[in-house]
Structure 1
């Protein structure tokens, strides 16, 4: 088999992460203005997808001062027993928790992402659905904004009146990460 025959082609079916977002104040704010809504974006499987408000450190930006600079990361991986591309989710926020189907992740904690997962941080809800594919070197991400919270549409509803957070210290620029805080000595 020559190199051209073994290379990935455009016809390969890529794994796709459909990320459906909801925030109770999304209609009055431009939280999603920097996201490529309803357009599939291709990513290298060896580079994590990072979300947060820091344009330098994150792949996708949420224009919300209450979101951490680096909120979360999605890492692709494969196991020897499977040809499927799987994902883990990691909480990158030092001040806030990320909830995955009601399981809270602390700072830098990771867990396997199920095929369908309800992710919560702050007042955000994200429904992530993994569509299987065959490609080994890349995957796609597609964003959509939902009109109602995904927890109401799915059986993953967990009643909560409070957002998932550790009551971060707020500044004019949003929550302060530990390396941004100034402590008097």
Structure 2
């Protein structure tokens, strides 16, 4: 087998990150005008991918003044236990937190990405899905836009991480308040009046 055949085989087996954007105003604003949507681009695995507003330092730039100059970075890595190319996401913004699923990241904090992750900052929702491959030196990225927020899809299939106090529970019926709150205050007054005087 020649070297060129080996290279082509490796090219066919590149890991691919499918990165899909959503913003509630995406139909009226040109946020994605600098992104090559629908096309796959190849990237060296030893260099981080940066997303932000600055076209000079970011691989992918959003035309939005509310986005940080450098918003986040994706770093590829491998482990001795696995042949898969894995990724971490790091928050590069000193101003805003970046949320990966339900985890909030402050400036320079990073987290391992699962095979499917919901990333949020500002009003942006980004769905990142990793398609496994075998190549070691590079990977591909495919960008797209979602017509609806990906949080709707991920909320339906993941258990809620919101505390029960905030959302209530279907197992325990919510108490109905039929009497005014003054009833409790009246009880407190009566109990204070029955205290022995000193």
TM-score by length of 1: 0.80
User: Which residue of the partner structure matches residue 174 of structure 1?
Assistant: none
Q: 1:5 to 1:146 in 2, by over 3 A?
A: closer
Q: How many pairs are equivalent?
A: 158
Give runs of aligned pairs for residues 32-181 of structure 1, distance below 5 A. 32-155=32-155, 156=158
User: Which residue of the partner structure matches residue 179 of structure 1?
Assistant: none
Q: CA deviation at 1:154?
A: 2.1
* Structural RMSD (CA): 1.9
Unaligned runs of 5+ in 1: 160-185
1:97-151 CA-partner distances (Å, limit 9, x unpaired): 0000010000000110110000000000000000000100000000110110000
Q: Does 1:8 align with 2:7?
A: yes
1:11-51 CA-partner distances (Å, limit 9, x unpaired): 43110000010000100000000001010000000111100
Q: Which moved more, 1:5-14 or 1:118-127?
A: 5-14
Q: CA deviation at 1:5?
A: 7.2
Identify, as 1 or 2, the structure richer in helix.
2
Runs of 4+ residues over 6 Å off in structure 1: none
Larger Rg computed on CA atoms: 2
Q: CA deviation at 1:6?
A: 9.3
Question: Whole-Å Cα distance in 2 between the matches of residues 77 and 121 of structure 1?
Answer: 24
Question: Whole-Å Cα distance in 2 between the matches of residues 158 and 67 of structure 1?
Answer: 26
